[in-house]
Amino acid sequence: MIQGTGSNVGKSLLVAGICRALVRRGLTVRPFKPQNMSNNAAVAEGGEIGRAQALQAMACGVEPSVHMNPILLKPESETGAQVVVHGQRHTTAKAGEYGALKPSLMPKVLESFNQMRGEADIVIVEGAGSPAEVNLRAGDIANMGFAEAADIPVILAGDIDRGGVIAQIVGTKAVISTADAARIKGFIVNKFRGDPALFDEGFKAIESHTGWRGLGTLPWFADSHKLPAEDALDIRSGGNGGFLIAVPQLSRMANFDDLDPLAQELNVRVTMVPAGKPLPGDADLVLIPGTKSTVKDLAFFRNQGWDVDLHAHFRRGGKVLGICGGYQMLGKVIADPCGIEGPAGETKGLGYLDVTTTMIPEKQVSRTKAIHKASGTALNAYEIHIGTTDGPDCNRPVFEVRGQPEGATSANGQVQGSYLHGLFSEDAFRDAWLKAEGAGGSKVAYGAGVEKTLDALAAHIEAHLDIDALLEIAQ
C-alpha cells in the first residue's frame, strides 16, 4: 500500500507507474483504493469509480472495475458528500454522519480487495490523505485502518517539492501509533527537482530517524500533465494555440478531465478562469464544464459576474458549449421538484438554450456509443448525471445515442449542450469538432499518448526506485 504524508503528494501517479512497471515485468497487477474523494469519476461496470483508478486500470492493461475503488465520496457541499458504494449511490452524508457509517463499509471494502487480490499476482493499493491525520484513525478505512484489516505492508511517500520532506516523513512516524509505524516498511521521496544526489544526506537522515528502508528519490516527472488529472488542484491552463477556449472554474466542477485532450492540441489554448476573474473577451469558445451541484454552481457562476461576461461573448458571436451540468445551466429552467440539490423548486437558467431540465432521483451512469450528427463521426463516451432535459432546441441534437437524439443546439447554432463526457478523448471526433470550429483539426493522438506516457512513467520509476525491494516487501 502506497500512503502519503499528505494529500496531493503524487500517490495516484506513483501507483499508476508502479502498476505499469510491474506489468512490464510480466506480472498480473490490479490497482485498489479503498476510499476516494473526488468529483472526477469514471464509469466502470455501470457504476462510478475515481478517475485515478480508471487510469491505474489502464496502466495494468485491464478494464476498470467498481471493486478497484469500492467507496467513492463525491462532495456536494463544504460539509457533505454523496457516498457511492460498489459504483452505486448509497446515501448522502455529512462528515459526522459518515464517521458513523464507516464501520459498516469496511466489509464491503475488504470484499472488493479480496476480489482484486484473487485476480492478480500483486495488488498496489493507494491510500487517501495521510496516516498522520491521527484524529481520523478510529474507524479508518482509507489508510492504516484498512492496512491493518487487510494485513498488508505500507510504503510512505513524501513530497519534496512542497518543502519539509524530512519533517513530513519523520513527523508521520512521531504522531502515529507504534503498531502503525511498524507496518510501514519503507519510504519514497517524490517530486525532486534537480540532481537527486544532492539529497543523499537528507535521505540518510530520514532512514536514521525512522528506521525505515528508503526505496529512492524520484525526480519530477515532467510529462505528468499528459495524464488525466484527478484532483481539482491539478487543473491548469494548457496549450499555446490560437483557438482560445475559456473554462470557468466552477466551485464543484466534475469530470474536468474532459479538458485534458483539448489542452494538448497544438492549435488550441485552454484557459481556466478562476473565481474573481472575468471570462476573457477574446475567447473563441466558452466551455461550461460538468458540476456535482448544478443549481449551486449556477449561483456561483452568477456571483462571479460570468453571466455578464457570457452575454458579451455571445453578442460578439462567440460559441458556447455546455457539458452535463454546464448543459443544464444553459437552459431556461432547472426544476427540482424532489429537492435533490436543495430546497424543492425551480431555478432560472442562463437561457441560451430553449430547454428545461428536471432533476430526478435516478442517476444515469453508463458508457455509450454515439454519432456526431454534424460530421457523422462515431465515438465512445460516458454519462454520469441526474436530470432529464427537453425542449425545442433538443430537436437540433448534437449526437445520436442508442438511436435517440442527444443534446441541444440553439436556433442560431452558437450554443450547444450535451450530457456526454469523454468526447474529446476520441481523436476522430476531436478532429471533426475542431475543424468545424475553425481550429484547424486535431494534431494529437490522445489515447496513444496516454499509453506512451504511462510507459515513460514506468521507466522513470524503474530508473530511480528500488522496485525489487518493493516486491520483496510485498512478499
Q: Are 397 and 418 a contacting pair, CB within 8 Å?
A: no
Tell me how far apart the 2 most distant CA atoms of the chain are, in Å: 70
Cell, residue 94? 455529512
The partner residues of 72 in beta bridges, in order of sequence, read 36, 84
Judge contact between 385 and 360, C-beta under 8 A. Answer: no
Residues near 475 by beta carbon (within 8 Å), at least 6 away in sequence: none
Please report which helix (H) or strand (E) contains residue 447, including its range: helix 446-464
DSSP 116-175: HHHH-SEEEEB--S-TT-GGG-TT-SSSHHHHHHHT--EEEEEEGGGS-HHHHHHHHHHH
- Give me the sign of the Cα torsion angle 78, 80, 86, 87: negative
In the residue annotation, 421 being an active-site residue is answered as: yes
Among candidate residues 19, 60, 324, 394, the one labeled active-site is: 324
DSSP string for 218-259? EEP-GGGGGS---SGGG---B---SEEEEEE--TTEE-GGGG
The span from the CA of 421 to the CA of 42, in Å, is 10
Which triple of cell numbers denotes residue 45?
461496470
CB atoms within 10 A of CB 37: 16
Name the residue type at position 355.
Answer: V
155 has which bridge partners? Answer: 2, 186
H or E segment to which residue 214 belongs:
strand 213-219
Collapse the DSSP code of 405 into the 3-class scheme (helix H, G, I; strand E, B; otherwise coil) and give the result.
Answer: strand
Choose, from 67, 313, 372, 421, the residue flagged as catalytic: 421
d(C-alpha 398, C-alpha 396), whole Å: 7
Q: What is the 3-state secondary structure (H, E, C) of 378-399?
A: EEEEEEEEEEEEECHHHHCCCE
Catalytic residues: 324, 421
